Structure 1
Amino acid sequence: MICIDDIFPAFSENNVAIVFESSDYFAPYLDVAMLSLIQTMSPQHNYDIIVLSSELEEQNEVALKELVRGRKNIALRFFNPHAIAKTYIKRARYSYLEINYYRLLLPWILVNYDKVINLGADIVVEHDLADLFQTELSENCYIAGAPDLGYIGRLSIDISPKELGMRDPYKYVNADVLLMNLKAIRAEVDRDWLMSLWQKRQFMCSEQDVLNLAFESHIQHLDLRWNLYPERMNSEYHIRSAPIESVRAWEIAKEDPYIIHYAAVPKPWDSPLVGMGIRWWKYARQSVYYEEIIRRMCTHQSGSSSPIGVKGAIVIYAKKHCPKFLRPFAKSVKRLLKW
């Protein structure tokens, strides 16, 4: 078995392990996420941050390392796990992003870690992640995550509850904020079996679908505050279609989010007026990538005028499902609704 044996916890005590997977293009947004994370840290804990990437350029590594320079309780390291993933990529029947492989293979990439927090880069952190890391996991738990209300809402719109074959698809969790019990997964799960399951079909939500399907009996739910989807993104329409108790829990979580996850579109770096976009831009203005973020946003805006939030979701759904003979009337309806 191929493993990266020299990745050990950075601190011998109070080590809070945090892992990101990132492309080179996402480096500016990762910088913003890390700025928010650092500003919520406590001096009582040590934060061991690992970035997994096969393409991150050296100049971006240098820029990101500046965030933690002089901070004795933060370690930031970069590793390329391509050697572990390449065999599965070569055998792949279906095409997925390489960084998607890293999340599934995390227990075997970080063989010297028992537990990690795994995060996507399209977030801002508003609460000390040490509290998430210290969450007590049940004996048979492999992963802990928050219910994905966007997916759950779509079960009554355009996703069949039988689509994945889960016994209870309403327990589906989002994989961009996970507390992963790597030790338990290594002990109980065969790596080749997990990767072969991923290649049995083209999964709509990539490795997230497989984690939910494979680990269904071993998932623990986190408080929604740890993975809060804001309003005014296209996911809002889906969330409001979820069961009423889930919508109520979302409304409560919005009052005090621990992690804001801009999971849908548009992203705050493309459209600042998305829900809680102000919070994202508070950190973006502190980033060394601020000018590049502005440049990208201007480029994006010059070629896009799509509505956001619930309206945006309805427009996207209509474009996907509207019969061809009705499409000539779409512009008239849009003008009527003042969209």
Structure 2
Amino acid sequence: MSNIKIFVAHDEEKTITVDNPIYQNVITQNVENSKFIQMNTGDNISDKYKKYQELTIQYWAWKNIDADYYGLCTQNKYLSFSTNNIRNNQKTNFEFPAPYFDEHPTIDPPIKFEYLNNANIQKLNLFEQAMKDTIESYDMIITSHLNWDITIMQQFDVPSVLDNKLKVALELIDEFSPEFSKVAHEYFNGYVYYPGQLYVMSKDLFNDYCKWNFKILDELEKRIDFSHYSVEGLKVLYYISERLLGVYYTYLKNQNKYKLKEVDWCEIEHVETQDPILPAFIDNKEAILFCFDNNFIIPAAATIMSLINTSTDENQYDIICFNKNLAQTNKDLLSRLTKEKNNISLRFYDIGFIMSNYPSPHLRENIPWSIDVYSKFLIFEILASYNKVLYLDTDLILMDDISYLLNLDLTGYYLAACPDLGIISNSSKMPWMYNYLTKKINLTNEFIYTNAGVSLFNIQEIINDQINFGDNLLQTLFDTAKQLHLAQEQDIINELFHKKTYYLDLNWNIYSFLGTSKNTISKKLYKEWLPEYLYKQCIAAIQNPKIIHYVADGKPWNYPDYALANYWWDAIRGTEIYELAINLQIKNTATKYTQKIIQDFLNIQ
């Protein structure tokens, strides 16, 4: 059996890997006690990484590792060993005159995935035996070629490298390896290009290629004055080597004596991995969870600010923010809110990768669930080290210290939440809603349905109950979600947890529209259709709200004059969040005004 080693270049340790012994994960930085292989041992050029990039790994493998086949890829670029056409990216051509050394790459791969999850690993067929069967059948495997509308030589006519060093490389080929001259001239002045510097070669070819490749690069390095090169310009040796690989492959191809194969390659958009989330405080295993994206940063900041405003020094608040690709500027914004509070921890956890491993449930056909909906399911996997987790929507304001909720004794209960007055009243009014609650999601009666916007989960009680949820709670949740639900995850939480739910006082989740005498529709609906005891609780809760929930469309950041919106604005007044919210108001007003002008103009026409 052949000894095959494909070296994977990792810029950081917190990056995804493929569970396959063929892949040898190598760290490009000097890191003590790294879990990856380090290339600064033996004969190496690790100190030249700025110029040679992943070629430092190629050199190290050439000088220090014995194998039958050698390959190279990176943490976000892999060769595809799929036997099927899995191309999913139409844009694969170079766009001229956009400079190749621009900080935004202009080369797109034929295959693009957001994450290297199990499903995509299977699509790429990155399994040991399948890869061995393919690799052992060929002398060299390289990326499928591109046909461009400019020559390879023209790719280097860019200001960032001061002058075209590919011409110098061609002169060196003529000087040191004339047997490659004809092929090199044709390839550099042609339109066929093999991108990515991804390959697998037999031992003999790899040694031959490295000897030739590094001879040219070494001489080229001596003839270039790098004194005034930019960070990107310093990589010119790496980019030239990428073209040398194409020359070498074409040279072998012209000899007609080697078994060669071109395969598609894949680029992974997000390769970062997350550290496990453990309690931030030694004596506190209760967490507060928010989930939002970049579009909801101002409301989320306001909710967190209200938590800070109502916090007490004797309590600890372990805040975790589930997100997907949250911008660093937004993380910094939220972190500044708590920086003076030693008893408040605020951390971020990107749930994108975990989400990608589960099929997206749908609210309606072709409408996938949003990230905040997913988050409640992932609590039980990501936050399994906690005793309780308080999930809070980010369209609410805290009026009281939530330590009361965090300290509740939920022994024997899965969940603590408030009854959902809107759903309950409608189920009393509309027979189809009653049937949905009692037959579709199997509630014992319609009056126990809860709102998920404020949910205190008893994590250990839930994950230890294998009788009701099996060995894989997360899978149970997603299996239940395969059927369409009116209120998405809220229905599923009610379906699975209603038999052990602790009902909170309504003032812990009071709807904002109840706080004004102008809104008579909902109050009339509640008075006519709610059980008397719930209606009385509702009226009492309005007088002493502990959490104001801005449900439906009346969001205070959009409508400052709506019911109880003043509490939202008071929470952020005097902070940088206030200025951002004002700016959002101005933008919204300007947009609406512009739209009106355009519509009036169209009506005239």
User: TM over 0.5: same fold?
Assistant: yes
One-letter identity of the residue aligned with 1:162: N
One-letter identity of the residue aligned with 1:110: L
Mapped pair 1:156 → 2:444 = no
The answer (yes or no) to whether the contact 2:361–2:482 under 8 Å persists in 1 is no
What residue number does 2:36 align with?
none
* Comparing 8-17 and 71-80, the one that deviates more: 8-17
The answer (yes or no) to whether the contact 2:396–2:549 under 8 Å persists in 1 is yes
Mapped pair 1:199 → 2:482 = yes
The answer (yes or no) to whether the contact 1:118–1:178 under 8 Å persists in 2 is yes
Mapped pair 1:186 → 2:463 = yes
Distance verdict in 2 for CA 1:36–1:162, change over 3 Å? same
What residue number does 2:415 align with?
143
What residue number does 1:59 align with?
329
The answer (yes or no) to whether the contact 1:13–1:46 under 8 Å persists in 2 is no
Q: CA deviation at 1:111?
A: 1.8
The answer (yes or no) to whether the contact 2:316–2:343 under 8 Å persists in 1 is yes
Q: CA deviation at 1:289?
A: 2.9
Q: Cα deviation per residue 1:6-25 (whole Å; 9 max; x = unaligned)?
A: 21100012454211011111
| Residues in 2 aligned to 1:219 and 1:285: alpha-carbon distance in whole angstroms | 37
In structure 2, the residue corresponding to 1:89 is in which secondary structure?
coil
Mapped pair 1:17 → 2:304 = no
| Residues in 1 aligned to 2:563 and 2:361: alpha-carbon distance in whole angstroms | 41
| Residues in 2 aligned to 1:218 and 1:150: alpha-carbon distance in whole angstroms | 21
Map 1:256-295 to 2 at 5 A: 256-295=544-583
What residue number does 2:305 align with?
35
* Comparing 107-116 and 281-290, the one that deviates more: 281-290
Q: CA deviation at 1:127?
A: 1.0
Computing the radius of gyration from Cα coordinates, the structure with the larger value is 2
Q: Cα deviation per residue 1:166-194 (whole Å; 9 max; x = unaligned)?
A: 22121111111111011111112232122
* Comparing 94-103 and 38-47, the one that deviates more: 94-103
One-letter identity of the residue aligned with 2:504: L
In structure 1, the residue corresponding to 2:434 is in which secondary structure?
coil
Q: CA deviation at 1:91?
A: 7.6
What residue number does 1:129 align with?
402
* Comparing 228-237 and 184-193, the one that deviates more: 228-237
Structure number with the bigger relative contact order (C-alpha 8 A, sep ≥ 6) is: 1
The runs of 5 or more residues in structure 2 that have no matched partner are: 1-117, 119-272, 594-605
* Comparing 249-258 and 3-12, the one that deviates more: 3-12
The answer (yes or no) to whether the contact 1:268–1:277 under 8 Å persists in 2 is yes
Q: CA deviation at 1:237?
A: 5.8
Percent identical residues: 29
* Comparing 221-230 and 148-157, the one that deviates more: 148-157
Distance verdict in 2 for CA 1:112–1:14, change over 3 Å? closer
Q: Cα deviation per residue 1:300-327 (whole Å; 9 max; x = unaligned)?
A: 45649xxxxxxxxxxxxxxxxxxxxxxx
In structure 2, the residue corresponding to 1:107 is in which secondary structure?
helix
Q: Cα deviation per residue 1:176-217 (whole Å; 9 max; x = unaligned)?
A: 11110111111122321221111122x121111110011121
Map 1:293-308 to 2 at 5 A: 293-300=581-588, 303=592
| Residues in 2 aligned to 1:235 and 1:8: alpha-carbon distance in whole angstroms | 42
Q: CA deviation at 1:299?
A: 4.8
Q: CA deviation at 1:283?
A: 1.4
Q: CA deviation at 1:31?
A: 0.8
Mapped pair 1:171 → 2:448 = yes
What residue number does 2:601 align with?
none
Q: CA deviation at 1:298?
A: 4.5
What residue number does 1:227 align with?
509
The runs of 5 or more residues in structure 1 that have no matched partner are: 305-339
Distance verdict in 2 for CA 1:138–1:236, change over 3 Å? farther
* Comparing 253-262 and 231-240, the one that deviates more: 231-240
Distance verdict in 2 for CA 1:236–1:104, change over 3 Å? farther
One-letter identity of the residue aligned with 1:129: I
RMSD of aligned C-alpha atoms? 2.4
| 1:210 alignment partner, one of 492, 503, 506 | 492
| Residues in 2 aligned to 1:209 and 1:236: alpha-carbon distance in whole angstroms | 24
Q: Cα deviation per residue 1:229-272 (whole Å; 9 max; x = unaligned)?
A: 12257865654442332221111011111111112221111222
Q: CA deviation at 1:275?
A: 2.3
The answer (yes or no) to whether the contact 1:4–1:110 under 8 Å persists in 2 is no
| Residues in 2 aligned to 1:239 and 1:53: alpha-carbon distance in whole angstroms | 35
Distance verdict in 2 for CA 1:7–1:283, change over 3 Å? same
Q: How many residues align?
A: 301
Q: CA deviation at 1:294?
A: 2.5
In structure 2, the residue corresponding to 1:88 is in which secondary structure?
coil
| Residues in 2 aligned to 1:123 and 1:176: alpha-carbon distance in whole angstroms | 9
One-letter identity of the residue aligned with 2:425: G
TM-score calculated relative to the size of structure 1? 0.82
The answer (yes or no) to whether the contact 2:390–2:455 under 8 Å persists in 1 is yes
Distance verdict in 2 for CA 1:172–1:161, change over 3 Å? same
One-letter identity of the residue aligned with 2:544: D
The answer (yes or no) to whether the contact 1:19–1:49 under 8 Å persists in 2 is yes
The answer (yes or no) to whether the contact 1:47–1:74 under 8 Å persists in 2 is yes
Q: CA deviation at 1:90?
A: 5.2
| Residues in 2 aligned to 1:45 and 1:15: alpha-carbon distance in whole angstroms | 12
TM-score calculated relative to the size of structure 2? 0.47
